[in-house]
Amino acid sequence: MQRCEFMDGRSGRSCASVRRGRKAPIHAILAMAASLVASSGQAQEDGRAANKAPDYVATREYSGRPTQQETLRHHNGWLRGDRMGERSSYFQGPGRFVSFTRTPDGNRYESLHVTQAVGTDKTRQESVKTEKLQSFLDETCTIWDFVGPADPKGRRSVSFRDCITHDGIQIAHGWAAEDGAIREPPDWRLTRLTRTPVSEDETSPPADVFDWRNFTGFAAQTPSLETRTQPDFAATMNGSIASSGAGVRYRKRHFPWVRTDTTFANGARIIEIVNERTHAALTFRATVQGAFESLWIGEFRPGPQYVRSGAGRDAEQKDVVVERGIFLGEWCRITRDARDERIRTEWRTHDGIILKEEESGGRVANPEGWTVVQWQRRPVELSEVMPPAEIFERARWGLSR
């Protein structure tokens, strides 16, 4: 399964677990990216010297086994990381993060993850300079505490710390020790540091990564060979998500591609595209007033929790209830899936058109429900289910270079 590569090089759980006709957990993607900004990139946003740090080239090493290393390059507030022995790279700038994985031959890309800080986050940790000094790589550095928001009693906790050199280079990061230092061993530390000129091109995301046609999952356009059982269709649904309010959802299929485009009255937007044969996938999110927030391209692999929704295939698993019924004059397969944190119910026709879908439950109560108001089995052009060009405009992601 494609895994998210974080700014500090760690990999986390899958960036998206798109299901057939099911909304990808984009909130998980954003939470992971936000966590990373707090752990390694926050210096660029809260007044520390990182933005004024000199150009440098370094090697970062992570604790644990097996040992993982990456090469870093810094120029004018932008940091580039390349994982040694792998094909992944990331670019981290003020409020922005771009990571990707190349194909083995280096000619195309396998995955992409872009995030952009939008607005303010009241739960974000604050970085506070202390008087504590520590030494790494024969350099003396100052400890900065990551201080969490105050609890109901006004108490604030410190979990992580950075050590920053006199000229603003983040040289180590790790758990907070009781003596005010970083606990040994640090989560990561620099094992090599050379202050040397670095060109802007070396720390700028490549231009061709902002073109969906350069990704393996979207480059080879598969023909629609199963139109008899999976016909093209276009549907419009009305509904809402509690956190975003009322909206309209548009879904189109040109088998094996399905595109779901959800827009809200406040300008927020979610786009999800899935190839149901190759498992190529894309998820895009814009927040209030249309500000771009995240973009993910990769591959999802439905695991044992996947409910096959083809005609005549009933799921015989615990916590999955399958019934038959009529909805809006169409015979539907009604599936209630309670295996994940959120309970999902959908009404799907014999040829795969979702007429109604609901989700509820989970750690954060954010119920949603959508009901089709118009649908038509009609030819859909391939261009109608491919990504819109505007979501790849570098300027919309705050990338002027």
In this predicted structure, the answer to whether residue 166 has a pLDDT above a threshold of 90 is yes
Domain identity same for 54 and 127? yes
- Confidence band, pLDDT 50/70/90 cuts, at residue 365: confident
Q: Give pLDDT, residue 228.
A: 60
- Confidence band, pLDDT 50/70/90 cuts, at residue 151: confident
Domain identity same for 27 and 62? yes
Angle of CA points 66, 67, 73, to nearest 5°: 145
Boundary residue ending a domain (141, 175, 209): 209
Domain identity same for 285 and 346? yes
Of 252, 290, 295, the closest CA to residue 274 belongs to: 252
Number of domains observed in the structure of the chain = 2
Domain housing 131: 3-209
Q: Give pLDDT, residue 224.
A: 55
Q: Give pLDDT, residue 1.
A: 34
- Confidence band, pLDDT 50/70/90 cuts, at residue 342: confident
Domain identity same for 132 and 46? yes
DSSP state of 192: E
Q: Give pLDDT, residue 49.
A: 47
**CATH code at position 50:** 2.50.20
Domain identity same for 316 and 273? yes
Q: Give pLDDT, residue 366.
A: 87
List of long-range contacts for 338-341, beta carbons under 8 Å, 24+ apart: 339/305, 340/305
Gyration radius of the chain over CA positions: 23
User: Where is 358: in which H helix or E strand?
Assistant: strand 354-361
pLDDT 10s digits, 239-289:
999 989 999 999 999 988 999 999 999 999 999 999 988 889 999 999 988
Domain identity same for 267 and 287? yes
- 152 vs 55, residue with greater confidence: 55
Which of these ranges, 23-27, 45-49, 79-83, 231-235, has the smallest mean pLDDT? 23-27
Q: Give pLDDT, residue 340.
A: 78
Boundary residue ending a domain (189, 209, 229): 209
Residues 75-83, mean pLDDT to the nearest whole number: 95
Domain identity same for 80 and 184? yes
Distant-in-sequence, close-in-space partners of 395: CB < 8 Å, separation ≥ 6: none
Residues 91-98, mean pLDDT to the nearest whole number: 94
pLDDT 10s digits, 29-52:
333 344 444 444 444 444 454 558
Q: Give pLDDT, residue 271.
A: 97
Domain identity same for 162 and 237? no
Domain identity same for 32 and 122? yes
Residues 184-213, mean pLDDT to the nearest whole number: 95
Q: Give pLDDT, residue 195.
A: 98
Q: Give me the chain's average pLDDT, please.
A: 82
d(CA 348, CA 337): 13
Residues 77-97, mean pLDDT to the nearest whole number: 93
Domain identity same for 166 and 257? no
Q: Give pLDDT, residue 306.
A: 42
Domain identity same for 133 and 253? no
CB count within 10 Å of CB 118 equals: 17
Q: Give pLDDT, residue 120.
A: 60
Distant-in-sequence, close-in-space partners of 97: CB < 8 Å, separation ≥ 6: 7, 33, 36, 37, 41, 90, 91, 113, 114, 115, 116
Boundary residue ending a domain (209, 242, 272): 209
Residues 49-58, mean pLDDT to the nearest whole number: 82
d(CA 10, CA 61): 11
Q: Give pLDDT, residue 2.
A: 36
* Tokens at 311, concatenated: 């005609």
d(CA 113, CA 370): 28
What separation in angstroms does the CA of 143 have from each of 133, 168, 245, 336? 6, 12, 43, 51
What separation in angstroms does the CA of 43 have from each of 53, 99, 377? 10, 19, 53
Domain identity same for 27 and 172? yes
Q: Give pLDDT, residue 23.
A: 39
Query: pTM here?
Result: 0.81
